[in-house]
Structure 1
Amino acid sequence: MLPEQLEAIYLNNLALFSKAGVGYQQWQHEPILDFETDQRISAELGITAAPTKSLFMKLKGGGHCLLLTHRDSRLDSKLVKSLVGKRVSICSNDEMVAAIGCEPGAVCPFGLPEHITLLIDPVLYSFDELMYTPGKPTMTFAFASDKLDVLLALLPNPQIQLPSAPDLQAHIA
């Protein structure tokens, strides 16, 4: 992983917030590459935003997509297949790094190559704020979830909203 790639992803995210006119908070901390560290750092820094998860997947026959969801949500591969028309599987770390430049455990949902389809889980809109890693595992960004669509509208990526599951929020809490 080249530091220049991570810096470019980070700067892309700053530019996206600026262009969208969306306010955000950011924190610098030790590297977060797993959920346990994420929970500990969030508690230490008083971050109350809902943690997101960006699952980078490959499509059978070629191509990639990314599922942006809540950290505790599970992948419904049958649902994703019905939406993208191909079977999906989680990418290997090496393939992911080569495709998008993010470190495993610190996948950024914004600023991906434009051919990568984004799958957006509507559970994200049920939280007041969302947090994610902007490429650098030593940084965390948070923003109001009601601004997610404003950010997504500025991205060139194809986007698919997952169907709503009203009872999913109860399973996450």
Structure 2
Amino acid sequence: MTETPEGLLARLEAAGIEARTVPHPPLFTVAESRALRGDLPGLHSKNLFLRRKEGGFALAVLEEGRQLRVNELARRAGWGRVSMGSAEELRAVLGVEPGSVTPFGLVHAAPGTVRVVLDAALAEAPALVWFHPLVNTASTGLAPEALLRFLRGLGHEVTVLDLNPA
């Protein structure tokens, strides 16, 4: 069964996680997000849904300004060769549409089916971190440790990775 944004927010609340959700026009790129951000203090993300050549999928949750080649990211994460996941795979695995990729989509994925890397810049942020709540017409901010607790509570292993230049 597909989770709704309202259901996701209810799950967060039931887990005792404080979150702030702000509606906005649909956003498809980091540039659009920056232009319409308004009063959303904290760090913002860009998320990459990838297909692993050896099988399975990966999700990279990166600080929005992170500059890193996909192959370099995959090497540092230990994923082997990767390519961008298709829209159909994204819908089937994370239950979201292109432009709405979010770690919250892991509510739809069985534990162990998606390898997850969280940029240390987000994991160690002293403020809220922001993600789409399954749709790109809103942003939800929460504490980084709350995000990790929520994802791990769903049964997903999350690797925090320092992605600063080596």
Question: How many residues are paired up?
Answer: 160
Aligned partner letter, 1:120: L
Aligned partner letter, 1:123: A
Q: Is the 8 A contact 1:20 1:154 kept in 2?
A: no
Unaligned runs of 5+ residues in structure 2 are none
**Normalised TM-score (structure 2):** 0.81
Q: Is the 8 A contact 1:50 1:127 kept in 2?
A: no
Q: Which residue in 1 is equivalent to 2:120? A: 122
Written as runs of structure 1 = structure 2, the 5 A alignment for 1:136-151 is 136-151=135-150
1:164 Cα deviation from its structure 2 partner? 6.1
Q: In the superposition, relative to structure 1, how do residues 133 and 80 fare at CA in structure 2: closer, same or farther (>3 Å)?
A: same
1:149 Cα deviation from its structure 2 partner? 2.8
Identity value in percent? 23
1:95 is paired with a residue whose SS is: helix
Out of 57, 63, 66, the residue aligned to residue 59 of structure 2 is: 66
Which structure is higher in helix share?
A: 1
Unaligned runs of 5+ residues in structure 1 are 169-173
Q: Is the 8 A contact 1:133 1:141 kept in 2?
A: yes
RMSD: 2.5
Q: Residues 75-110 of structure 1, C-alpha deviation per residue, up to 9 Å, x if partnerless? A: 453353353342122223343234322121211202
1:47 Cα deviation from its structure 2 partner? 1.4
Q: Which residue in 2 is equivalent to 1:171? A: none
2:36 is paired with a residue whose SS is: helix
Q: Which residue in 1 is equivalent to 2:133? A: 134
1:141 Cα deviation from its structure 2 partner? 0.5
**Normalised TM-score (structure 1):** 0.78
Q: Distance in 2 between matches of 1:123 and 1:34?
A: 20
Q: In the superposition, relative to structure 1, how do residues 116 and 140 fare at CA in structure 2: closer, same or farther (>3 Å)?
A: same
Q: Distance in 1 between matches of 2:54 and 2:19?
A: 38
Q: Is the 8 A contact 2:23 2:137 kept in 1?
A: yes
